[in-house]
Amino acid sequence: MKRRLSLGTPFTYLVVLLVVGVTVVPLLFTILGGFRTNAQINNEPVGWPSPWNLGNYTDVLSSDVFWQAMGNSTLISVITTGLAVGVGAMAAFALSRYTFAGRESLYTLFTLGLLFPLTAAALPLYLLLRELDLLENPLGVALPQAAFALPITIVILRPFMAAIPAELEDAAAMDGAGRLGFFWRILIPLSRPALTTVAILAFVTSWNAYLLPLLVLSDPSNFTLPLGVAAFQSQFSQDTARILAYTAASMIPAIGFFVFAERHIVGGLTGSVKG
Amino acid sequence: MTASAVTAPQSEAGRVDPRPARRPGRRGTRLELALLLTPALVLFVGFVLLPIAVAVYYSFYKWTGFSPRTPYGLGNYQRVLEDEVFRSALLHNLIIAALSVVIQLPLSIALALLLNRKIRGRAVLRLVVFAPYVLSEAITAVVWLLMLQPGGLVDQLFNAAGLGGLIQHWLADGDLVLYTLFVVITWKYIGFGVILLLAGLQSIPAELREAASTDGASPWDTTRHIVLPLLGPTIRIWIFLSVIGSLQLFDLVWIMTLGGPASASATMATYLLDHGFSRYEFGFGSAVAVVLFVVCFIFALLYQRFALRRDLRGALTGTKG
């Protein structure tokens, strides 16, 4: 294949370099800053660690605070994802492969949920969770988050499940499987790509959530990572190096997860957008 | 009525399969449907619809946490809409939304067009550009808070570039803070737009552009008259998500400025938290929540009616289209 080298090419690379710089500098500042001491940072905000100092990271990584927050975040995200995907898949199955009166209105009801921001529901949610005695409880965060993840889950899963050929369902029936058997043994495995997408969307949203955990969890031992990062920042505001180390350490799961699942995240976002 | 509507299995939503119906017994089917749909309905009604309804209900009461509820009519709404601080908060949301469309959108399109070319390391580049999007707003806020400190990394970079005279109190200057926050928001969310638009670009057949250039169209003309119109649906969705996101802006602002200084960066959501929780004004806070919801809802309806109608057919309007 012949590629014409246009005048635009050096310009392209210049822009690319600029974009990469702007994106990466704050990340490097955080990660490298964690290896510096406060004296180094105060003398020279921009600079390489010299000498490299592991103390901040070992402090953070050996502290209960960090691992507790990591554990809480993981627990809440896993419950949220499991609930949203499990319950959403069942509903999407009913809405895609059964015919019943009111099916379309029910689907429209769920899609309307796309327009309800969690922010607007936060205050009454807090009051409701207080009534249910779910404050300071992982479920108090996970249940509402799963509920708010349902609309997008169903919107993505329904067309996917509807497109699976009816012949498969007939064949399963021939082999004596009921419809629920078909759902569990054939539809779920076949829907894996779409299920992965919605699971990742739900997980990332929950992992990064700040507002609802802020309202529901006030005991520091229940904090999730975003709460922990913000609290650590205001608590140790003079200890910049330690804040940077804590922040960098809490970036790692998100970045690692992202590198691992980039294709699915991007596919999920673009897929969800196209409806 | 519900039972008689249960019919044959079908191949595609909305279209009934012509082959003979397999009837597993109506009672069984109804039981299955109940089993499949109840958990989702309970979750959705209980934690999405009910709270919104409850907020509407509470918004008509005067209720401050510990005191008993007393009916207050439209008093809370009057207070919200007459409060200068709320009005300026709403204005801040609208400014951020407008800036996003005017600045982030062209920037995203330009970057997506660049990244769509065959350049070295494109895959890595996509990863890098998209990385800030997966970080939480909390992390983003803390990182930028430290970088924007007086004498911090940003100021040092200005000095190094010989622009030391332009250094400002980025977060402490009431006239500037909103725009500083906008820069941070752009840093975090630009990758999202780029990735969406790249996906849109890749769905445009290369033959179309080749045909245009064979016919003598310049690259600019091809972009302007062929590529951009075909990106239309992606751009319209991006605008929708971006405006809704701007209207709900909270995490970043709360951590970086708490809406300050002197409410100069308050948004509807920080105003809601400030009154509903920090001051336990549950009735008043509910009214704020309802107003926030109505603003988003009106925008969504109008936008869907006038801009998204074609693009979203099948997603928000059922599968009949």
Most trustworthy range by pLDDT among B186-200, B243-257, B300-314: B243-257
B161 and B86 within one domain: yes
Single-letter residue type at A168: L
| Mean pLDDT, rounded, for B192-219 | 83
The structure tokens listed for B87 are 């009005």
Interface contact A269-B16, CB threshold 8 A: no
Is B38 within the bounds of a domain? yes
Asked if residue B79 has pLDDT above 70, the reply is yes
| Mean pLDDT, rounded, for B226-245 | 88
Cβ pairs bridging A and B (under 8 Å): 306
Counting DSSP H helices and E strands in chain A, the numbers are 14, 0
Provide the pLDDT for residue B94. 97
Interface contact A45-B153, CB threshold 8 A: yes
Is B188 within the bounds of a domain? yes
The answer to whether A123 touches B277, Cβ cutoff 8 Å, is yes
Is B184 within the bounds of a domain? yes
What CATH number corresponds to the domain at position B125?
1.10.3720.10
B264 and B159 within one domain: yes
B176 and B304 within one domain: yes
Q: Say which of B13, B40, B143 has its CB closest to residue A247.
A: B143
Task: Give the gap in angstroms from C-alpha A241 to the nearest C-alpha of chain B.
Answer: 10
Quote the CA–CA distance of B42 and B48 in Å, as a whole number.
Answer: 10
Quote the CA–CA distance of B82 and B94 in Å, as a whole number.
Answer: 18
Q: Determine the 3-state secondary structure of B274 from DSSP.
A: helix
| Phi, psi (deg, nearest 5) at residue B70 | -125, 140
The answer to whether A161 touches A187, Cβ cutoff 8 Å, is yes
What's A185's DSSP letter? I
Q: Using a CB-CB distance cutoff of 8 angstroms, which residues of chain B are in contact with residue A257?
A: 134
The answer to whether B236 touches B307, Cβ cutoff 8 Å, is yes
User: Is A17 exposed, middle or buried (CB count within 10 Å of its CB: 0-12, 13-18, 19+)?
Assistant: exposed
B135 and B237 within one domain: yes
ipTM value of the model?
A: 0.87
Other C-beta atoms lying within 10 Å of the C-beta of residue A219: 8
Q: Using a CB-CB distance cutoff of 8 angstroms, which residues of chain B are in contact with residue A146?
A: 43, 47
The structure tokens listed for B84 are 């200068």
Q: Is B31 on the interface with A (CB under 8 A)?
A: no
What's the total number of domains in chain B?
2
Range of the domain at B41: 27-58
Interface contact A87-B43, CB threshold 8 A: yes
Q: Using a CB-CB distance cutoff of 8 angstroms, which residues of chain A are in contact with residue B151?
A: 45
B38 and B122 within one domain: no
Is B152 within the bounds of a domain? yes
B245 and B131 within one domain: yes
Higher pLDDT, B118 or A176: A176
Q: Determine the 3-state secondary structure of B318 from DSSP.
A: coil
CA–CA distances in Å: residue A136 to residues A150, A212, A219, B10, B264 = 23, 11, 7, 46, 32
Q: At what angle do helices B122-134 and A240-274 cross, to 10 degrees?
A: 110
pLDDT, tens only, B255-283: 999 998 999 999 999 999 999 888 888 89
B314: left (phi over 0), alpha (psi -120 to 50) or beta: left
Quote the CA–CA distance of A141 and B298 in Å, as a whole number.
Answer: 28
Task: Give the gap in angstroms from C-alpha A200 to the nearest C-alpha of chain B.
Answer: 11
Q: Using a CB-CB distance cutoff of 8 angstroms, which residues of chain B are in contact with residue A15?
A: 111, 114
Quote the CA–CA distance of B301 and B316 in Å, as a whole number.
Answer: 11
CA proximity to A187, closest of A89, A81, A107: A89
Is B124 within the bounds of a domain? yes
Provide the pLDDT for residue B12. 40
CATH of range A64-274; options 3.40.50.300, 1.20.140.10, 3.30.470.30, 1.10.3720.10? 1.10.3720.10
Kindly write down the DSSP assignment for every residue of B209-259, as one continuous string. HHHHHHTT--HHHHIIIIIHHHHHHHHHHHHHHHHHHHHT--HHHHHHTTT
User: Is A199 exposed, middle or buried (CB count within 10 Å of its CB: 0-12, 13-18, 19+)?
Assistant: buried
Quote the CA–CA distance of B310 and B248 in Å, as a whole number.
Answer: 26
Provide the pLDDT for residue A95. 95
Q: Is A212 on the interface with B (CB under 8 A)?
A: no
Other C-beta atoms lying within 10 Å of the C-beta of residue B229: 9
The structure tokens listed for B321 are 């289209």
Kindly write down the DSSP assignment for every residue of B73-109, as one continuous string. TTHHHHHHHH-HHHHHHHHHHHHHHHHIIIIIHHHHH
Task: Give the gap in angstroms from C-alpha A154 to the nearest C-alpha of chain B.
Answer: 10
Q: Is A203 on the interface with B (CB under 8 A)?
A: no
How would you write the pLDDT of chain A (275 residues) with one tens digit per residue?
444 445 457 777 888 888 889 999 999 999 999 999 888 888 777 778 888 888 889 988 998 889 999 999 999 999 999 999 999 999 999 999 999 999 999 999 998 888 778 888 888 899 899 989 999 999 999 999 999 999 999 988 998 899 888 888 888 888 888 888 889 888 999 998 889 888 988 998 899 999 999 999 999 999 999 999 999 998 888 888 899 999 999 988 888 887 777 777 666 666 555 43
Q: Which residues contact A113 (CB under 8 A, 6 or more apart)?
A: A148, A150, A151, B44, B48
Q: Is A265 on the interface with B (CB under 8 A)?
A: yes
Asked if residue B11 has pLDDT above 60, the reply is no
Interface contact B248-A22, CB threshold 8 A: no
Q: Determine the 3-state secondary structure of A271 from DSSP.
A: helix
Is B14 within the bounds of a domain? no
CB within 8 Å of chain A, chain B residues 168-207: 187, 191-192, 195-196, 199-200
Looking up tokens 């070319």 gives B117
Is B165 within the bounds of a domain? yes
Q: Which residues contact B25 (CB under 8 A, 6 or more apart)?
A: none
Q: Say which of A12, A143, A226 has its CB closest to residue B138.
A: A226
Closest Cα in chain B to A118: B48
CB within 8 Å of chain B, chain A residues 52-81: none
Q: At what angle do helices B84-99 and B75-82 cross, to 10 degrees?
A: 60
CA–CA distances in Å: residue A76 to residues A73, A81, B240 = 5, 9, 29
Q: Using a CB-CB distance cutoff of 8 angstroms, which residues of chain A are in contact with residue B144?
A: 26
Q: Using a CB-CB distance cutoff of 8 angstroms, which residues of chain B are in contact with residue A108?
A: 317-318
pLDDT, tens only, B140-168: 999 999 999 888 889 888 988 888 888 88
Interface contact B8-A144, CB threshold 8 A: no
The answer to whether A40 touches A49, Cβ cutoff 8 Å, is yes
Exposure string over B283-300, b if 16+ CB within 10 A, otherwise e: bbbbbbbbbbbebbbebb
B35 and B152 within one domain: no
Q: Using a CB-CB distance cutoff of 8 angstroms, which residues of chain A are in contact with residue B15?
A: none
Distance from the Cα of residue A158 to its chain's centroid: 21
Domain edges within chain A? 8-43, 64-274
Closest Cα in chain A to B147: A26
Is B3 within the bounds of a domain? no
What's B15's DSSP letter? B
